[in-house]
């Protein structure tokens, strides 16, 4: 099962026409909701969903956004043996983003999300960042970076010796900056 979930992650990253891959992934989720997946398999499936959502946002077409929205909806209905609590948080964010994108398409006057610069306080083993707003001091744990990404490695390496700031739009990290303490 781990190998199949890993393959979904690889296929999502490699494909340029995600429609068929999204359909295959949705069928897999529906057929295997009784299975108990390992954390590694859950992370691979979540990464595949993330890649499809990101590509749909970049594409911007109604068909791509609709397919990604349906995939996220299906993933949210899966039991916790398929996607755990932290995964559900990410899925909920993507669901809200995709629902907002389809609403924004119908209303071109809708405000676009602003870029926020936040300080990284910590990063956990799953890639969730503890971020602090410099103006208010409020913290948040809703932003996640992929564990095997360059962003994760950069943040992890620099966090103990430097101040790390990230530019975030809708819980997606756009840029990582390192400043001397």
What's the whole-number mean pLDDT along residues 108-131? Answer: 81
> CB-hemisphere CA count at 13 Å for 58?
9
Residue by residue, DSSP assigns 5-37 as HHHHHHHHHH-S-HHHHHHHHHHHHHHTTTS--
State the Cα–Cα distance between residues 167 and 71, nearest whole angstrom: 27
DSSP secondary-structure letter at 115? P
Residues 71-78 have a mean pLDDT of: 91
Q: How confident is the model at residue 113 (pLDDT cuts 50, 70, 90)?
A: low
Q: Looking at residue 165, what is its pLDDT?
A: 92
The string of pLDDT tens digits covering residues 18-36 is 678 898 999 999 999 898 9
pLDDT tens by residue, 124-168: 988 899 999 988 989 988 888 888 888 888 899 998 889 999 988
pLDDT at 71 over 90: yes
Q: What is the pLDDT at residue 101?
A: 61
**Torsion sign, CA atoms 5, 142, 62, 74:** positive
Domain borders along the chain are: 2-106, 116-180
Alpha-carbon distances, residue 38 vs 4, 27, 137 (angstroms): 12, 19, 36
CATH topology of domain 116-180: OB fold (Dihydrolipoamide Acetyltransferase, E2P) (2.40.50)
Residue predicted with more confidence, 130 or 57? 130
Quick check: helix, strand or coil at residue 78? coil
pTM exceeds cut of 0.85: no
């Amino acid at each position: 099962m781990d190998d199949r979930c890993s393959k979904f992650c690889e296929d999502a990253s490699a494909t340029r026409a995600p429609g068929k891959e999204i359909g295959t992934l949705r069928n897999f989720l529906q057929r295997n909701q009784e299975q108990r997946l390992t954390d590694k398999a859950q992370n691979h499936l979540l990464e595949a969903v993330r890649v499809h959502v990101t590509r749909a946002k970049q594409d911007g077409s109604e068909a791509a956004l609709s397919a990604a929205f349906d995939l996220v909806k299906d993933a949210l209905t899966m039991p916790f043996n398929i996607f755990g609590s932290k995964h559900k948080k990410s899925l909920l964010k993507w669901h809200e983003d995709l629902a907002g994108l389809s609403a924004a398409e119908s209303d071109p006057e809708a405000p676009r999300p602003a870029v926020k610069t936040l300080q990284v306080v910590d990063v956990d083993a799953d890639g969730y960042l503890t971020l602090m707003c410099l103006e208010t001091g409020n913290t948040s744990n809703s932003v996640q970076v992929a564990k095997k990404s360059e962003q994760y490695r950069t943040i992890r390496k620099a966090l103990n010796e430097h101040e790390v700031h990230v530019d975030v739009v809708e819980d997606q990290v756009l840029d990582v900056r390192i400043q001397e303490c």
